[in-house]
Amino acid sequence: MYKVNEVFETIQGEGSFTGAAAIFIRLQGCPVGCSWCDTKHTWEVNDEQRLPLGDIVIKTAETEHWAGVSVEEILALFVKEGYQAKHVVITGGEPCMYDLNPLCEALHSKGYSTQIETSGTFEIKAPAKTWVTVSPKVNMAGGYKVLQSALDRANEIKHPVAMEKHIDELLRLLQQTDITAKLVYLQPISQQRRATELAIAMCKKYNWRLSVQVHKYLGIS
């Protein structure tokens, strides 16, 4: 069973799949504690906030409510809702608190591609063909360390930046990681002008890529 905060179909707004139609599965629970997190409603798992899956799908606002959902129920929901996208993004919260192998394997068997968005602070349990986006969270309030195994597994590293120290953090992480076959993105925190200018300058300097959270500029989920 997976604790699901919301499921919705939209356009992926970040990283290498920017612009792709996607179904998002947002899982509940995250102890990492990022101060700028824009999904803080997914941090806590409280039994009194549990709802049936049907009520989760029709939510019209961000809430701490979640549903306990099986793999079979997730697949049935896609059919019931008439989702057309064939790319599934599993996010959170921190999705790697869960073993994602059963969910991803079931999705692959139905012709979906899968992507995980994780902080890199938990072991990644997912099939080899799942695309893994590690957005490394360094020195956050929860005290979790970015795992070397997560950096090694990543297909792309998407680092949130607002100031020079965030660039220094990323450079230290990359020193111990072979990035030959990985994509490296900088993502300005909260679309701040200074952060965006810094990210652009560093992308030029290190030949990295820019991720600008297109969905926020468009005003969509």
Structure tokens at 207: 């030949």
Query: How far is 121 from 139, CA to CA, in rounded Å?
Result: 11
* pLDDT value, residue 220: 66
Determine if residue 177 is labeled as part of a ligand binding site: no
Could you check whether the bond before residue 120 is cis, i.e. omega within 30 degrees of 0? Answer: no
Helix (H) or strand (E) holding 174: helix 164-175
Domain count, the chain: 1
Asked if pLDDT for residue 214 goes beyond 80, the answer is no
Q: 55 labelled as ligand-binding?
A: no
What does the alpha-carbon distance between residue 202 and residue 3 come to, in Å, rounded to a whole number? 38
Considering the domain boundaries, does residue 108 fall inside one?
A: yes
Q: Please check whether residue 166 lies inside any domain of the structure.
A: no
Q: Is residue 179 part of a domain?
A: no
Model confidence at 216: pLDDT above 70: no
Indicate the pLDDT class of residue 129, thresholds 50, 70 and 90. very high
Better pLDDT: 67 or 190? 67
- In this prediction, residue 189 carries a pLDDT of 86
Does 196 belong to an annotated binding site? no
Residue 57 to residue 77: CA distance in whole angstroms? 9
Q: What average pLDDT does the segment 56-80 reach?
A: 95
Nearest to 20 by CA among 10, 28, 30, 29: 10
pLDDT for residue 125 is more than 80: yes
Q: Is 67's pLDDT higher than 90?
A: yes
Residue 193 maps to a domain:
no
Q: How much is the pLDDT for 11? A: 95
pLDDT at 215 over 80: no
* Mean pLDDT of all residues belonging to the chain: 94
Instruction: Please check the confidence at residue 82 and state whether its pLDDT lies above 70.
Output: yes
Domain that holds residue 56: 2-159
Average the pLDDT over each of 59-73, 151-165, 184-198, 206-220 and give the range with the smallest value: 206-220
| Amino acid letter, residue 216 | K
Q: Establish whether 203 is an annotated binding residue.
A: no
| DSSP H or E run through 67 | strand 67-69
Residues contacting residue 150 through CB under 8 Å, at least 6 positions apart: 96, 118, 120, 121, 122, 123, 124, 132, 134, 136
Instruction: Report d(CA 187, CA 114) in Å as an integer.
Output: 21
Asked if residue 43 belongs to a known ligand binding site, the reply is: no
For the domain that residue 138 is a member of, what is the CATH number? 3.20.20.70
| 37 annotated among ligand-binding-site residues | yes
Tell me whether residue 36 is annotated as binding. yes
DSSP 32: S
- Tell me the pLDDT tens digit for each residue of 181-190: 999 999 998 7
30 is in an annotated binding site: yes
The rounded radius of gyration (Å) of the Cα atoms in the chain is 17
What is the pLDDT averaged over residues 48-77? 95
Average pLDDT over residues 177-182: 93
Q: Is 104 annotated as a binding residue?
A: no
Residue 33 CB-half CA count within 13 A = 8
Residue 68 known to bind ligand = no
Helix, strand or coil for residue 81? helix
Annotated ligand binding at 93? The verdict is: yes
88 domain-assigned: yes
- Domain annotation covers residue 92: yes
Percentage above 90 pLDDT, the chain: 87
Looking at the domain assignment, is residue 27 inside a domain? yes
Name the β-bridge partners of 161: 188
Identify the bridge partners of residue 87 per DSSP, sorted by sequence position. Answer: 113
In a domain, 127, yes or no: yes
Sequence letter at residue 104: C
Structure tokens at 39: 């999904």
